[in-house]
């Protein structure tokens, strides 16, 4: 009995369709998993309030320091997300 390479039995065709359908359903069911953020990514920025008899430049310097710390935290959080 001669058969060509393109011939398949009905059962093989059904199995191939079922496999394709299962793969499609599996792709639709997969949802991206986001990693948990480090705790420092959820902290608020520190506040620099003026003190009595303090020159405005001292308040500005404290604010700049807090802003630098906050920028460093955000960079670490971004690196964490980029790595995952």
pLDDT tens, residue by residue, 20-52? 988 888 888 877 777 787 888 888 888 888 888
Structure tokens at 18: 């079922």
Which one, of 48, 43, 42, lies nearest residue 67 by Cα? Answer: 48
Q: What is the pTM of this model?
A: 0.51
pLDDT tens, residue by residue, 9-28? 788 888 889 999 888 888 88
How far does Cα 5 stand from its chain's mean position?
47
Contact, 69 vs 46, CB < 8 A?
yes
Contact, 40 vs 80, CB < 8 A?
no
Degrees, nearest 5: CA angle 42-45-41 = 20
């Amino acid at each position: 009995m001669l058969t060509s390479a393109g011939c398949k039995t009905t059962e093989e065709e059904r199995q191939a369709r079922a496999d394709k359908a299962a793969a499609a359903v599996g792709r639709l069911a997969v949802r991206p998993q986001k990693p948990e953020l480090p705790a420092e990514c959820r902290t608020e920025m520190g506040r620099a309030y003026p003190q009595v008899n303090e020159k405005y430049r001292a308040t500005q310097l404290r604010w700049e320091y807090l802003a630098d710390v906050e920028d460093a935290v955000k960079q670490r959080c971004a690196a964490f997300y980029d790595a995952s």
